[in-house]
Structure 1
Amino acid sequence: MGKRRNNKQLLTSLSKKQKKHLKEFGEVHPFDDVVSEKSERTQVVELVPSPEHSDAEAEHLDEEEDEPEEKTAYQKLLTTLNRPSGDDHSEEETTDDEEEEDLGVEENSVDKEDGNDDDDDGEEEEEPEDSGVVLTQASESEKVVHEGGEDFIDKEHESQFCLEGNLIGERGQEDIGDVDQDNDMYFQHFGTELSEDDMQKITLGTKPNTQIKWPKMGSLFCTTPLETFGALSSHKDLPAFHKLLETSCSNTKTLNSKEEAEETSAFQFELLALMGTYKDLYYPENCPLKVGSQVRSAYCLHALNHVLKANSLVLTHNAQLREQQQEAKKGAELEHELRDQGLTRPKVLILVPFRGVVLQIIHILISLLESKGKKVVVSNKKRFKDEYGNDSDTKPNRPDDYHAIFLGNVDDHFRMGISIIRNSMRLYAPFYSSDIIIASPLGLRTVLGVEGEFNRDFDFLSSIEMLIVDQADVFLMQNWEHVLHVMKHMNLQPLESHGVDFSRVRMWNLNNLAQHYRQTLVFSSIQDPQISNILSKQCANYRGQVSVKNIPKTGSICQVLVQLPHVFQMFSSDSFINHNARFQYFVDKVLPQYRDSVMSHTLVYIPSYFDYVRLRNYMKKQEMNFASVCEYSSKSEVNRARHFFMNGDKQFMLYTERFHFYKRYVIKGIQNLVFYGLPSFPHFYSEVCNMLAAGGQGEVTSWTCTALYSRFDAHKLSAITGAQRAGQMLHSNKSVHLFITGEDQAS
């Protein structure tokens, strides 16, 4: 400790220039060295004469770094000097210690905790380098601990859940030798080898469409790129389930929650039959209040059945390979290759919007794996409940669908790997040791990164065989770009091998055809072109696609309770993404009607945030009296805007759809309502219209409602007005249509 005290005193005696040189170069400038009065002959060190030998240096660089006692030219120079006695002893030691004091401030605290001074004279020259290593390792370990609190990864149970080191169970529950593989759709789908002609038909050929109707699912539109596999038939059969799931599937209580067992099992029977064909599926009627839990239970059963069959096949082949190796030692010849894997282990990717949904999925998976007298061993279950448990405050006076969507923990940044072996489940498994990955689009986006980033990784998505997108409509309210970013990185060739045994990899994985074998299941509560575009543009399943398209008979306009005239104005547009036509029509035709002071208390409902920004900037330039609220507005800004609008201090209020989705506030004081675009959720139309009765201002006869639409808003229009009325409005020669609601209540 005394030595360090002396070093600190010497450090304070240095000038600013000397300290700067010490910090930058790790040593005091030779001009400031204390040398003896007796001059010594300077040692000449020969350097490399020319950079032409740089290649030779590069070849022997590692050998030179391995030499333990190699000294620099400056250190050789110091050895020629005589060390003075007394107060001037060991200037080299002082210099090194001062460097340690200056560069290793954080190290002092580490040394104090360890109780070690590390002041041995024999290690004086190497001490600064070692100190830097210690500091770097300490900071990295602290970073790992800090990040581990957010992204914990279980590495303790790696050997237990490793497929390569496990064999079939003692009771043969993993053995698939007695399974009829010819009639099992799993083995048919992944055992099919596509020819070059088939590939051309899938990518360039026409896809014939057929339509059938099932009792519970309704109208099903099927596209089949290859005629060999045929279209969907009216005959419905459940897929063959794994042995571990047979008892769970026979129990209808596992599959339903609140609905009656018969009706629920009938709906899930058709849904499982559709998913069992391994065709892509788009189901846009996944209402969280009615069938949300049933759909989630069904796709969990399908995904778990897929994973168990895949793992059972690998474990069975492991035992067969061991037997073949033992026979090979005796002189027998090896049989044909057993190809049963992808380039990476993850097989199922489930995209969900919130952590609370992950909690429900894990509970369903555990209940499906449980059998009579046997419980599932779940690793890291306590940590999972703490991180994914109920963490949301219940907000009163909200609609039922709001509570169903935002149930539980509503954090939208997460990702977790799950590995399953027999009756054991490991949560927080590393991605490359996982069978199922459950994540949010934002959670995956931070891992996938973008081109140019150093720490990006997307190899774990190379062999995904099943993609499940749950609550795709909620992703529209978050950030749809994250979903598209994930889709772009699906089934790409990995950049590294990740320890895969290429002799076990399927040939279509090696030939980069995994996207044609991937099944994509998309569940949403609304029909939206952006969601359907995923299946039409970014999915190429060789077995085709199935889309549920049921025509709505009555629209949400029937749920409007106030007496209100609804004026629907149609504008011409040449493209779905052309926002200029809507903006010009609103500015030229609609906005002048409401700029009069008589038309005060006007709320403008805007579905798109980009349209909101454009309209807000226009009103600022025109110096119009308006308030605005969006999903990025603070609570104080929202309160001020609502107060000024209700009191009439602000004539207009710009109101975004995502703000209404997350808050569901009742805006008081509305007398005139303008829908800049039709709501994505049809029930939002009736909710906003019914807000007019909340303020109690103005006469009922003076209330107005105007909605803009184009021919590309057919799905939204039919969900609001009904399919029959929407067809008439879209094909009519008139561009303005009037509906009046609430006449019976008013009278």
Structure 2
Amino acid sequence: METTSKEDPFLSHFETLIDEIEINNKASKTTIELSSSSLGTCQFTSSSSTKSPILPCPVNTLDSFAIKKSLLSSIESSGSQLTPLQLDFFSLIHNYHDMYYPNRTNTNDVGEQLRFVICLHLINHVLKTRARILSHNAKLKENPDLDYHDQGFTRPKVLIIVPFRESVRRIIDCFENLLLNTDDSEKTDQIQISHRKRFQEEYGGGEIDKQNNDGKFQRTSDEYNEIFAGNIDDHFRLGISVTRKSLKFFQSVYKSDFLIVSPVGLRTLLEKRRQKRKHKESSDNSGSDDDDNDNNKNSTDNNSSSIADFLSSIECVYIDQLDVLSMQNLDHLFYILENLNTIPQQATSKIDFSRIRHWSLNGWARLYRQLIVVSSFTSPLFLSLFHRFSTNYFGQCLIQPYFPLNGYIRPLSTFHQLFQRIPVCDPTLRFNYFIENILPRFDTSTYDHTLIYLSSYFDFVRLRNYMRTEKHKQFNYLTLSEYSTKKQVLLARNIFYHREVRFLLMTERFHFYHRYRIKGIRHILFYDLPSYGNFYPEIVHFLTLPHVEEKKTTVTTTTTTRTNQTVEPSTCTALYAKEDALKLAYVLGQSAVTDLLTSDKNTHLFTNK
């Protein structure tokens, strides 16, 4: 059995009992700036007692890290050489610092490079945990008086949150490559993989149909194909147990080392457990008096520490493709993170309290939990999530975002593009400002066929409901959202192209998932800027698509009869507030942001002249 040195970050992190004074002394935190050519600028924040990392990574091989020999052997036998990005990234997470990386790209292998070293770190963590427990078990058999604290309340140690089943398949590929030594056939034969066929059936397949791309925008682009390759079902949860010689899929949550889930998949399980516990409590209390019922209801209230007890001892959380997760439902993700590391209210017979770590008994598990977040872009919401749940006493590494030098507007100078600063950012105030100051300007016959792009579904619903009220029935509009059926999409596109329609309301998620080429658009109005910077040129590109030739026709709607007027040249208008600085940087480039936010002018026109 391998021995571990005290230089091992695994030991120095998890076997150190931090001082309660240090926990409460937030003022002792300091921030330093590090940089490397591969990672860019990194802000490292920690308590004064935490040793700062070094960038660039001072070593160029994995031998210098405290990695299990079996894993090193597998990597060496595969002939893989880590890139500078992988070495720098691994050097930070190997030391159990929290990590926020917002520069994952979907058009090259950056995402795969990071996924490999993160999987290496997580498997290394689980194998070390297991080896340490087995070593202590053997010593306790020889001397029962020894005292070891090496466990948590439950077995699961790593929680991986990803958007699609294809993401799970790629993670499992990394696991297998790390656990299988391809140079040693005898060892390979000894590795046991349970339920492999079932895994392939449930997590494989689902390739994009490239022959059926009618009406889609750049359906064969690398960016789209990378995101939506393989099985894109978003409702799953998979428990995995790992040893040096086995990989077992579809384990129960209490027998798993890894839990790989989608947000909605795990949220569904937690809700099922909540309902089951609620039903059980109701049955148990059916014969009690009213006072007892009230007390029991208040004491349990479907207690999160009971329904999520299998998440009580999670030590590493890996959130991949946070940008894609934001196109699903981030409420589920927040709910999951809020329920991590709570002390179980009910002890099971399998818990050996004599082996539980002191900091876990103290309720400090969240302070030892490592959080790794990877995304393709950053946003105030993403940063808020990271800062809220990054509670690791070992420090946080915040990689600064990379912005395109000139953004995405320079190649699109054929059309006049107006950026208009508005004085409000609060969603309600923004909506009120929009309907009072912006919408009336576009509600004229010269601005027929205007696309209104909304990044938030809630803003979309609010504007749609406003237009459909009896008071504002004069609005002639169509809608496209992520909840539109194929039949509704086909009908809306057909009507919008062939008839006189004032507005087409479209959500960002609709474009994210479908990438339809919307023909007939003459004007574009961005209610707010897209979350993905590259969506801006994709939407503006719609202005270059064909539209029906203007005719002198009279069109009768449910409430109005209007005659086509002379149509304005195609235009694009984007609204922004000072809180949209990050979105502006992705669209225009960082150098233009300061000018647009501090200028005395509220409008800025980009043209080809």
User: What is the rounded CA distance, in whole Å, between the counterparts of 2:510 and 2:533 in structure 1?
Assistant: 16
Residue 477, structure 1, aligned to residue 327, structure 2:
yes
User: What is the rounded CA distance, in whole Å, between the counterparts of 1:671 and 1:539 in structure 2?
Assistant: 46
1:384 to 199, 210, 223: 199
Matched with 1:244 is: 70
1:138-287 to 2 correspondences below 5 Å: 175-177=1-3, 179-180=4-5, 182-201=6-25, 204-205=26-27, 207-224=29-46, 226-234=47-55, 236=57, 237=59, 239-250=65-76, 253-254=79-80, 265-287=83-105
Structure 1 counterpart SS, 2:100: strand
Letter in 1 for 2:380: P
What's the CA shift for 1:588?
2.1
Residue 503, structure 1, aligned to residue 354, structure 2:
yes
Matched with 1:461 is: 311
What's the CA shift for 1:535?
1.8
Letter in 2 for 1:247: S
Change (3 A) 1:471 1:652: same
What's the CA shift for 1:344?
0.7
User: What is the rounded CA distance, in whole Å, between the counterparts of 2:541 and 2:178 in structure 1?
Assistant: 43
What's the CA shift for 1:701?
7.9
Structure 2 counterpart SS, 1:653: strand
What's the CA shift for 1:234?
2.9
Matched with 2:136 is: 317
Give 1 or 2 for the bigger CA radius of gyration.
Answer: 1
Letter in 1 for 2:452: V
Structure 2 counterpart SS, 1:598: helix
Structure 2 counterpart SS, 1:199: helix
Change (3 A) 1:604 1:206: farther
Matched with 2:297 is: none
1:336-735 to 2 correspondences below 5 Å: 337-371=147-181, 372-373=183-184, 374-375=187-188, 376-395=191-210, 396=213, 397-398=218-219, 399-449=221-271, 453-455=275-277, 457-498=307-348, 499-558=350-409, 560-561=411-412, 563-573=414-424, 578-621=426-469, 622-623=472-473, 624-696=475-547, 702-735=569-602
Structure 1 counterpart SS, 2:159: strand
User: What is the rounded CA distance, in whole Å, between the counterparts of 2:332 and 2:28 in structure 1?
Assistant: 30
What's the CA shift for 1:494?
1.2
What's the CA shift for 1:352?
0.6
Considering only aligned residues, what root-mean-square deviation do their CA atoms show, in Å?
A: 2.0
Letter in 2 for 1:477: M
User: What is the rounded CA distance, in whole Å, between the counterparts of 2:467 and 2:352 in structure 1?
Assistant: 63
1:465-496: per-residue Cα shift (whole Å, max 9, x none)?
Answer: 00000011111110010000001101011123
Long gaps (5+) in structure 2: 278-301, 551-566
Residue 308, structure 1, aligned to residue 308, structure 2:
no
Letter in 2 for 1:625: N
Change (3 A) 1:443 1:669: same
Normalised to the residue count of structure 2, the TM-score between the two structures is 0.86
User: What is the rounded CA distance, in whole Å, between the counterparts of 1:526 and 1:607 in structure 2?
Assistant: 15
User: What is the rounded CA distance, in whole Å, between the counterparts of 2:381 and 2:163 in structure 1?
Assistant: 17
Structure 2 counterpart SS, 1:650: coil
Change (3 A) 1:604 1:268: same
Structure 1 counterpart SS, 2:408: helix
What's the CA shift for 1:698?
6.9
What's the CA shift for 1:452?
6.1
Normalised to the residue count of structure 1, the TM-score between the two structures is 0.70
% same residue? 38
User: What is the rounded CA distance, in whole Å, between the counterparts of 1:441 and 1:677 in structure 2?
Assistant: 26
1:397-435: per-residue Cα shift (whole Å, max 9, x none)?
Answer: 413211101111111111011101221111011111111
Structure 1 counterpart SS, 2:326: helix
Whether the aligned pair in 1 keeps the contact of 2:477 and 2:501 (CA below 8 Å) is yes
User: What is the rounded CA distance, in whole Å, between the counterparts of 1:393 and 1:550 in structure 2?
Assistant: 30
Letter in 1 for 2:53: L
Letter in 2 for 1:320: K
Letter in 2 for 1:723: Q
Higher relative contact order (CA 8 A, sep 6+): 2
Letter in 1 for 2:341: N
Whether the aligned pair in 1 keeps the contact of 2:405 and 2:590 (CA below 8 Å) is yes
What's the CA shift for 1:392?
4.1
Structure 1 counterpart SS, 2:34: strand
User: What is the rounded CA distance, in whole Å, between the counterparts of 1:516 and 1:604 in structure 2?
Assistant: 45
Whether the aligned pair in 2 keeps the contact of 1:284 and 1:524 (CA below 8 Å) is yes
Long gaps (5+) in structure 1: 1-174, 255-260, 326-333
Structure 2 counterpart SS, 1:605: strand
User: What is the rounded CA distance, in whole Å, between the counterparts of 2:176 and 2:101 in structure 1?
Assistant: 25
1:162-207: per-residue Cα shift (whole Å, max 9, x none)?
Answer: xxxxxxxxxxxxx233x22x21111111011111211112xx4353
User: What is the rounded CA distance, in whole Å, between the counterparts of 1:682 and 1:251 in structure 2?
Assistant: 41
User: What is the rounded CA distance, in whole Å, between the counterparts of 1:570 and 1:558 in structure 2?
Assistant: 17
1:519-562: per-residue Cα shift (whole Å, max 9, x none)?
Answer: 00000001111111122112210011111114524244246446
Change (3 A) 1:251 1:723: farther
User: What is the rounded CA distance, in whole Å, between the counterparts of 2:584 and 2:429 in structure 1?
Assistant: 18
